Structure 1
Amino acid sequence: MARPARKSADPTRPLLKPAVRVGNLDTAALIGELRQVHEDAEDENIGRMPADEELFRALLYLEANAGAVKSEEARRKAAITRVKLWQYLREQAEIHQAKAVEDARAANAEWADLVPALAVNAPSAAYNKAKRLQAALLADPSRGEKSVRRTPEAVLEAQQRLAAQAAALRRAEVKAASHQALTASVAQRLLEHRADLESHGDVIFWLDQIEAVLPNCDTPTQMLSLKTYVEAVVRELKKIERTTTRPPVLGPAAQLAYAAAAEIISR
């Protein structure tokens, strides 16, 4: 009986588990703790140790002077901390190298120009390595996102997904801005025709609120307040229309403003 053909792995399939990374660290604090270990051990060269913020140089010092720590337990803990800090540097290096490649390409660098910089032997290898580096930029494990496989196909799929998300966000922002502009326009029309609106106490109150917020309506909070006030005016006018025999709006222009307000708040 013939053996079933083995299915090849989909190169764009994400890993099933989020990438394991050390993530964000307070590196200066950790270097400070290692400095204290060496001070407690009376490291005679401690005065030459770089500042806590100089992570790379400080790690080189700690590596060169590890023997100054005589306690085996303290030396073991210090070495493990150094391992963690070097891992942090590796993760950060991938991110920043990927950004550097993007900047080089944006400045019209050819893949052949990046061959020696990426320590590869051919432009195609530079392209593939750059794509693998970009995988580090396309997921944030701190938010529980799954990592992207380090293949050009997987990176391209992730980039297309992010581009689609960004486009959807831009469309939503444009729609929201358009709705806000229409709300402001409708609010202005209500004010222009307030003399033809029912002079009920609540109607007057909400029109006054519109008049107060409309001239400086810039922030999302102010726009939300404006929409709330327009809704309140429409609600009060409809209430008058239902509960009395008198029309809440007089004149065709005011009626159009009222209808526009009712329509905008229904969206």
Structure 2
Amino acid sequence: MARPARKSAAPTKPLLKQPVRIGKLDAPAIIGQLRKLHEEAEDEEIGQMPADNELFQALLYLESHAGALKDEQARRTAAVQRVKLWEYLREQIDSHQAKAIEHARAAGAEWTELVPALAVKSPSAAYNKATRLRAAELSNLSRGNRSVRRTPEAVLDAERQAALRAAAERRAQEVAARRHRLIAPVAQRLIEHRSGLDNDGEVTFWLDQIAALLPSCQTPTQLVSLETYVEAVVRELRKVERATAGPAATTADAQLAYAAAAELVAK
């Protein structure tokens, strides 16, 4: 009986098996730990070791001076850490090489010019290798835990999705910026004239929240908090008005600040 033909996966469908990766790593800190091992082993040339943030050169030094570590445990620890750091460095290369290709193409370089640079034999091979590099980069940055297939269709789809997300983020930031231009002056007026609004209760509490947040209000999350605090001040002032059957503000400036906040909240 003939075996059923295996169905090919859709070219844009994410890979089911996510590659195992080192991911984020404090490489300079690990280099610093390895430097300490060499210092403790009295490595006579440790003064020539590159700085902790010069990862490649530091690894070359540690490799060439591995014999300076006389303790077996220290040698094993250092070697395992070097394996990890080389793997970490390998993971960084795809992203940087993909960016270099992107810059070369943007500068007008043809695929034929990239053949020797990518160590391949034809322009189509250069294109395919560039596609694989972009897929690896998109897997790292754009899809979270979803791997991008190394096909032109998958890469184009992932880039389209990334562009849509970036556009949405820009729109959200623009909306937040416009909202900030509206709400920040209103919140500032409430603080400037709070002496006519404070009631030693909930109104005072929310005005304190505004005063603490306003000087550093920059991010969308902070803006949402600021708007929430202004809404809370308006809500509590209305409660005061209902409870006292009189104005909540005790000065003309405070009343105007309250009115402006109430108008903004109503929008």
Q: Same fold (TM over 0.5)?
A: yes
- Aligned equivalent of 1:231: 231
CA contact (8 A) 1:30 1:81 kept: no
Deviations 1:11-30 (A, max 9, x none): 22222233212332635247
What TM-score comes out, normalization by structure 1 length? 0.65
Q: 1:202 aligns with which of 184, 199, 213?
A: 199
CA distance in 2, matches of 1:261, 1:154: 49
CA distance in 1, matches of 2:232, 2:179: 18
1:22 aligns with 2:22: yes
Structure 1: 5+ residue stretches without partners: none
Q: 2:218 aligns with which of 217, 220, 223?
A: 220
**Counterparts of residues 243-258 of structure 1 (less than 5 Å):** 243-246=243-246
**Counterparts of residues 143-154 of structure 1 (less than 5 Å):** 145-154=145-154
CA contact (8 A) 2:12 2:151 kept: yes
| Higher Cα Rg, which structure | 1
> Across the two proteins, how many residue pairs are aligned to each other?
250
CA contact (8 A) 1:217 1:223 kept: no
- Aligned equivalent of 2:60: 57
Structure 1 residue 118: deviation in Å?
0.6
CA contact (8 A) 2:132 2:151 kept: yes
Deviations 1:126-147 (A, max 9, x none): 1221121122322349x96233
What TM-score comes out, normalization by structure 2 length? 0.65
Structure 1 residue 171: deviation in Å?
1.5
Deviations 1:165-216 (A, max 9, x none): 2112111111222222221354577799x8xxxx66539x76xx59x959x7
- Aligned equivalent of 2:91: 91
Q: Taking structure 1 as reference, are residues 34 and 188 closer, same or farther at Cα in structure 2, changes over 3 Å only?
A: closer
1:183 aligns with 2:170: no
CA contact (8 A) 2:191 2:211 kept: no
Structure 1 residue 157: deviation in Å?
1.9
CA distance in 2, matches of 1:69, 1:49: 15
2:103 is matched by which residue type in structure 1?
D
Percent identity between the aligned chains?
Answer: 53
2:217 is matched by which residue type in structure 1?
T
CA distance in 2, matches of 1:74, 1:247: 76
1:202 is matched by which residue type in structure 2?
N
RMSD of Structure 2 on Structure 1 (CA): 5.1
Q: Taking structure 1 as reference, are residues 60 and 119 closer, same or farther at Cα in structure 2, changes over 3 Å only?
A: farther
- Aligned equivalent of 1:11: 11
- Aligned equivalent of 1:133: 133
CA contact (8 A) 1:138 1:159 kept: yes
Instruction: Judge which range, 177-186 or 238-247, deviates more.
Output: 238-247
CA distance in 2, matches of 1:73, 1:247: 77
Q: Taking structure 1 as reference, are residues 238 and 104 closer, same or farther at Cα in structure 2, changes over 3 Å only?
A: same
CA distance in 2, matches of 1:185, 1:74: 61
CA distance in 2, matches of 1:232, 1:82: 56
CA distance in 1, matches of 2:128, 2:58: 30
3-state SS of the aligned residue for 1:105? helix
